[in-house]
Amino acid sequence: MRLLRKILYPVSLIYAVVVFIRNYFYDIGLFESKTFKTPTICIGNLSVGGTGKTPMAELLIALLQDTYKVALLSRGYRRQSKGFILADETSTVTILGDEPYQIFSKFKAVVVAVDADRENGIRTLEKRVCPDVIVLDDAYQHRKVTYGFSILLTAYGNLYSDDLYLPTGDLRDNKREAHRATIIVVTKCPPALSQMQQQRIIERLRPEPRQQVLFSRLTYDPYIKSGSNEIRIDDLKQKKLTLVTGIANPKPLVTYLEKIGLTFNHLRFNDHHSFTENEIKNLRKNQPVLTTEKDYVRLKGKVDKLYYVSIKHQFLNDGRKIFEDSLKKFMKLDS
């Protein structure tokens, strides 16, 4: 696979030219970027793959939902529906997509909608819901909308500054587009990342003077859940588990589970994998099954002994305060 990606380097150059021209047309106004009256907060990245967008969306929602009427708008990747869909009690994971359905299941006070056309999605939410703020998941590269507050995520060990364009690398947008972000968050950092190491990363990212670069790590809930039930993850140490992951980068989770002493057989699938009936039958033979929260919503009701590990972002140093202060400032400016 690595050799093939290297062979396809000329394709990456063509892709880079197309991306550059597209962004240039937006920069000079040849392509229009719409601004809406409702405050918009965009979460995204410049590279494909897991940087922790959904946990960041959940963090934002948790900070905003007690004060504001929050709507989340997502593309609904790999959903079996089209156009604008507003989540309700009849919605399923196949209609919304795994990540929007996960958020809809957890945050009952939050409006969740899916639409591949972000401009249409925002306009429809304004007409039908009138939210105080709209959070847009995985929308950084969609320039048809000018977002009020943008959070750009990049994973430690796979910084966009060091990446190459698809298909040779994972970069899907020009590195220079990082200048549009309000805040840059380096995710999945080691807990003991020193100030000197953080400074070196900042130098590699070369942020604008107005931009804050924050650092976060993933933390795992010591309790694993299955519906309304939960048990301590340590209680599984004497059991042989099947770990199922359909996410872009399961390595941090695998490392964590190995570190706490769990024994498991890891079945790795592609991101947003749709499980076949034969795969589900195989999982039923290899219970209990431990999985991610995103995979849980796709396997729920199909495997009896199914548990998920939930994750959160934890900022290093005083990053949490800086993040919250920036968010409060933005909401006051747009209130």
CB atoms within 10 A of CB 43: 28
Query: How far apart are alpha carbons 45 and 77 in whole angstroms?
Result: 15
Candidates 2.40.30, 3.40.50, 1.20.1070, 3.30.160; CATH matching 222-309:
3.40.50
The kind and range of the H/E element at 231 are: strand 229-232
Report which residue type is found at 285: K
| Count of residues making up the chain | 335
Which pTM value belongs to this model? 0.94
Q: Is 169 exposed, middle or buried (0-12, 13-18, 19+ CB in 10 A)?
A: middle
Per-residue confidence (pLDDT) for residue 189, from 0 to 100: 95
> What is the 8-class DSSP label of residue 34?
B
Annotated binding site: 47-54
Chunked mean pLDDT (size 10), the chain, 335 residues: 80 95 96 96 92 94 96 94 96 95 95 97 98 96 95 95 94 96 96 95 96 96 90 88 92 92 93 92 92 94 93 95 96 77
β-pair partners for 146: none
Indicate if 222-309 has the same CATH topology as 2-214+315-333: yes
Q: Which fold has domain 2-214+315-333?
A: Rossmann fold (3.40.50)
The rounded distance, in Å, linking the Cα atoms of 75 and 100 is 9
Annotated binding site for ATP: 47-54
List the chain domain ranges.
2-214+315-333, 222-309
Tell me the CB-side half-sphere exposure of residue 80, using CA atoms within 13 A. Answer: 6
Predicted local distance difference test score (pLDDT) of residue 272: 87
